[in-house]
Structure formats: C-alpha cells, structure tokens
C-alpha cells in the first residue's frame, strides 16, 4: 500500500479469498452444521469454574502434550466407538481443521499427493495448498458413495501419500460402508499411503453404523479425525482430535505442531465437556430424531434428500438454488449453497428452527411447487 511497496506474497496466494460461510444475524442459522442448543447452565457454570482455576496459572505455558485431555478423549472415543483406544494414539488441537492441517504437514509436502472424493468438505484443498501438497479429487457415484474401483485404481496408479475420506460426508451426509473403508485402507496401505477418515459428524450416525475407529487395530495406516464442534456443542471452543492406529503418527504430529498450540483454557473447557458427555448425548439423540423427521418431510414435499448420518441434510434439486436460498434468507432462515449444482444443505436446528425452515421452504416453493423454486424434475 505505502511507498509503492509490493508485498512479497506467495504467488499461489495472490488473489485467494479466505474461507468462510456468511455469519448473519437471522432467526434460524442453519448453515454451518453447528449444534443449535446453548450449553446447559450446569455445564456452562462448571466450565466457568474450570476456566477460573486454569486462569490462576496462565502465567505458565500449558501442558504442551495435553496429556489429561488426551486421556479423557481416549476414554470417551473408546466408549463411543466400542473399540480399545490408548492415549498414545490420541492427539488434540484447535479444531479438527488444525489436526488435519498437522496431518498434511506430517504426511504431505512438496512432491507428494493427497486425494479425496468430491463432493466433499471444501477445506481439504486448502490444507494441501498450505503444505505444498499436490491435490487431486475423484468423483463420487450418483448416490454420493465413493466409487471403490475408481478409488482403488487411482490410489494404485497415482500413489498418493494421503487419502482423505469423510464419513459421514459433508455436504452429502453419506456414511461409508465399513467394508468400503476396509478396502480403501488396504488399497492405501499397499500404495504406502495414509488413510485419513474425517469423522467430524460420527456421533450423529444411525444405530448400527460402525465408526472407523473400530478398524484401527487392523490397519496401521489409518487415522480417524473427530471434533467437539458438533456433537459436544463446542464449535466456539475449538477442539478437534484424532485417533491413529500407530502411536508414531502422534509423535510425528508433536514434531510439526507449534509450541504450546492448545491453550490451558481450551484444555480445561474440553475436559469439562467430556466429563458431561452424557448430558450432551441427549441433545445428539434429539437432533438425530429431528434429522430423520425433517428428511421424511422433505421427501413428502416431493424433494430429493441424500440419506444422512450427520446433523444436516442435502436436499434439492432446484433449477435455481440461489433463488431458493435467497427466498429462505428473506424469511430469516440461513442455509448453505454447497455441493453439486441444484442442491442446498440445511443443518438440523432446534425443533422450533426446523419448523421455521419447513414453513419458509413451503412458502418459497409455493404450495403447489409452481414457480422458480419448483423441483428440477418438475420442469419436464
Ligand atoms: C467434514 C468436516 N471436517 C472438519 C470440520 C472442521 O471442524 P472443526 O475444525 O470445528 O473441528 C468440519 C466443519 O464443519 C467438517 O464439516
């Protein structure tokens, strides 16, 4: 700006925009897959006390290995997934975004390739860009499953060092069958690649759908990432973690992490939330029921819905999704324009927010689905 100085910004960052969905003040904020419930008073108060206690020692750097927190996470995830997990397999950071970034730092890099399967979470190419990792995507099938023969062929031919799969997938909600995960893990192992399974939405899966954590004992190249942003209603606290088959993954992440990356306040808040996991699980159960009934309602309305094991639904299809999105926003409901053309994604809100979404959508589409917002199928 001043004196004609041209900032020596990295060439590949010039003109790039920062990631971010709109943060608007509307009655129903259903665009970033947050847990819509405020924290219960008891829990918020317990967190306040834990933070006050941590505050006394804020003159000191925090436990850089977050050992107590990782012990609590290991105990929680072992119980949730029904598989043994040792603290040496668990690593925590500021959101699963940071965990994934660290995984790319450790396993990606110049001359290395990461692959994933579109449509999926939009941050993966950014982790690749930041770490100078080449990035390639392969298409999912019509019903948003990973095309296993295509994936195996790509892995064998391109020999990536990282394969990322998201299950349940964002934005489609699709959970991968455990057999597909096993096949992918094996294919990745043969190619010398890590298989990272992003389970940000794991707690919302239907009963009987196993977690990839149950596969770790048999697949040394697997890492499962998770977050407290969704099921634990802690998006504002920033706590994500991973569980690796091989503890050497964790010691490598300790090499690339920044010193003291996880503040004492964050560690105290997360430990308190884990101690109250059962209260939060009741919210998750309600959100799962709300999701299933909203999905059924959307189908009754004549729309397509991708089967979801997450706390959101991808629905459509619309000839002009932007117009439907704007129509909903005009009625104080914010959803997300993401995924393949014609689809919209709605996060599951409180029962009241979901009702507001239903009546807003009905209004936008018109009772008889006439007008701009009608289904694409209706055009013919
Ligand atoms: C698939 C997926 N992974 C990871 C994240 C990041 O979560 P956080 O960094 O809040 O843990 C998100 C957030 O929406 C997500 O959808």
Distance (Å) from CA 131 to ligand 1 centroid: 18
Strand bridging mode 90-93 / 333-334: unpaired
Q: Which residues pair with 318 in a beta bridge?
A: none
For the CA of 120, the closest atom of ligand 1 is 1
Residue 115 in 3-state DSSP? Answer: strand
Cα–Cα distance for residue pair 5/171, rounded to 1 Å: 42
CA–centroid distance, residue 200 to ligand 1 (Å): 6
Q: Which residue has the tokens 């970034």?
A: 101
How far does the centroid of ligand 1 lie from the alpha carbon of residue 227, in Å? 7
Would you list the domain boundaries of the chain? 22-39+278-379, 41-275
Q: Cα separation of 204 and 310, whole Å?
A: 5
Where is 357: in which H helix or E strand?
helix 351-365
Q: H/E element holding 98?
A: helix 95-107
Q: State which of 122, 226, 227, 348 you would mutate to test the pocket of ligand 1, scoring each by most atoms of that ligand within 8 A of its C-beta.
A: 227
The CATH number of 41-275 is 3.40.640.10
User: How does DSSP classify residue 341?
Assistant: T
Q: Do the beta carbons of residue 66 and residue 92 sit within 8 Å?
A: yes
Q: Which atom of ligand 1 is nearest to the CA of 166?
A: 1
Q: 303: closest CA among 282, 288, 324, 287?
A: 324
Instruction: Please check whether residue 204 is in contact with residue 230, taking contact to mean a CB–CB distance below 8 angstroms.
Output: yes
- Report how far residue 106's alpha carbon sits from residue 93's, in angstroms, rounded to the nearest whole number: 14
CB 229 within 8 A of CB 235: yes
The class (CATH top level) of 22-39+278-379 is alpha beta
Instruction: Show pLDDT as tens, one digit a residue, over the chain (380 residues).
Output: 568 999 999 999 999 988 878 888 999 999 999 999 999 999 999 999 999 999 999 999 999 999 999 999 999 999 999 999 999 999 999 999 999 999 999 999 999 999 999 999 999 999 999 999 999 999 999 999 999 999 999 999 999 999 999 999 999 999 999 999 999 999 999 999 999 999 999 999 999 999 999 999 999 999 999 999 999 999 999 999 999 999 999 999 999 999 999 999 999 999 999 999 999 989 999 999 999 999 999 999 999 999 999 999 999 999 999 999 999 999 999 999 999 999 999 999 999 999 999 999 999 999 445 444 444 443 33
User: Which residues have C-beta atoms less than 6 Å from ligand 1?
Assistant: 33, 95-97, 121, 166, 170, 198, 200, 227, 229, 235, 240
Give the pairing of strands 312-316 and 194-198. Answer: unpaired
* Residues near 216 by beta carbon (within 8 Å), at least 6 away in sequence: 83, 85, 89, 222, 224, 243, 244, 245
Fold equal for 22-39+278-379 and 41-275:
no
Q: Is 138 helix (H, G, I), strand (E, B) or coil?
A: strand
């Amino acid at each position: 700006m001043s004196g004609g100085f041209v900032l020596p910004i990295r060439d590949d960052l010039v003109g790039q925009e920062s990631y971010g969905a709109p943060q608007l003040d509307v009655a129903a904020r259903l665009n970033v897959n947050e847990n819509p419930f405020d924290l219960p008073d008891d829990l918020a108060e317990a967190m306040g006390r834990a933070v006050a206690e941590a505050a006394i020692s804020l003159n000191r750097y925090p436990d850089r290995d977050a050992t107590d927190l990782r012990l609590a996470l290991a105990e929680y995830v072992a119980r949730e997934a029904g598989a043994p997990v040792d603290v040496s397999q668990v690593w925590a950071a500021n959101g699963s975004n940071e965990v994934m970034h660290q995984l790319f730092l450790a396993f990606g890099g110049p001359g290395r390739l990461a692959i994933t399967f579109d449509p999926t979470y939009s941050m993966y190419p950014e982790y690749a860009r930041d770490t100078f990792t080449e990035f390639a995507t392969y298409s999912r099938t019509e019903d948003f499953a990973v095309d296993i023969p295509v994936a195996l062929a790509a892995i064998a031919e391109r020999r990536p060092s990282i394969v990322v799969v998201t299950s349940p997938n964002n934005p489609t909600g699709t959970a991968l069958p455990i057999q597909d995960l096993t096949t992918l893990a094996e294919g990745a192992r043969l190619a010398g690649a890590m298989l990272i399974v992003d389970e940000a939405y794991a707690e919302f899966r239907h009963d009987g759908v196993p977690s990839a954590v149950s596969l770790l004992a048999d697949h040394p190249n697997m890492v499962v990432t998770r977050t407290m942003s969704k099921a634990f209603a802690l998006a504002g606290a920033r706590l994500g973690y991973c569980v690796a088959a091989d503890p050497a993954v964790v010691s490598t992440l300790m090499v690339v992490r920044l010193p003291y990356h996880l503040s004492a306040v964050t560690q105290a808040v997360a430990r308190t939330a884990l101690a109250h996991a059962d209260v939060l699980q009741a919210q998750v159960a309600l959100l799962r029921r709300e999701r299933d009934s909203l999905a059924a309602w959307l189908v009754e309305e004549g729309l397509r819905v991708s089967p979801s094991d997450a706390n959101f639904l991808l629905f459509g299809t619309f000839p002009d999704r932007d117009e439907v999105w704007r129509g909903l926003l005009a009625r104080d409901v914010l959803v997300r324009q993401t995924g393949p053309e014609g689809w919209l994604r709605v996060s599951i809100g409180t029962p009241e927010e979901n009702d507001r979404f239903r009546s807003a959508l009905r209004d936008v589409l018109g009772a008889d689905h006439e007008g701009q917002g009608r289904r694409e199928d209706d055009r013919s």
